Amino acid sequence: MDESKPGQILWHDLTVDNAELVSDFYHGVLGWEKEGLNMSGYDDFVIKSSKEGEVVAGVCHAKGVNKDIPPQWLMYVKVSNLEESIAKCRELGGKTLGNRRKMGEGHYQLIQDPAGAYMMLCE
């Protein structure tokens, strides 16, 4: 059962040109371990804490659906109604980027606020 609440940050990931290199960087700096996640022809990485093995983030290649995401730590935030949140984003001067995504039972939409910052909305 999903116990997350609207407004809650659900996930963080980083999209970069070379996820292999950058995930190795964070291993050296923070001790994070990586585990490959097949993305139909290449691996992105699930990042785990070194001691507990708890999944803490993702490091992704700027390919496929992620090709237009600039290099930054992107947070995923829960919303009650994705369509309403997308409409409100546009009404308040924001933009949507790319197509709505589906992963498992969830739907996601990348948005950009009026200042240019990015966030992924999740329902």
> What would the pLDDT profile of 27-44 be if each residue is shown by its tens digit?
999 999 999 999 888 999
**Residue ranges making up the domain that contains 105:** 1-11+67-123
Residues 45 and 96 in one domain: no
Same domain, 117 and 90: yes
Give CA–CA dist 24/1, Å, rounded.
34
76 and 115 part of one domain: yes
The model's pTM: 0.84
User: Cα-atom radius of gyration of the chain, to the nearest Å?
Assistant: 15
Q: How far is CA 4 from the centre of its chain?
A: 16
Question: pLDDT per residue over 47-64, tens digit each?
Answer: 999 778 899 999 999 998
Q: Per DSSP, which regions of the chain are E strands?
A: 9-16, 33-38, 43-48, 55-61, 73-78, 95-103, 106-112, 118-122
We report the CATH number of the domain holding residue 117 as 3.10.180.10
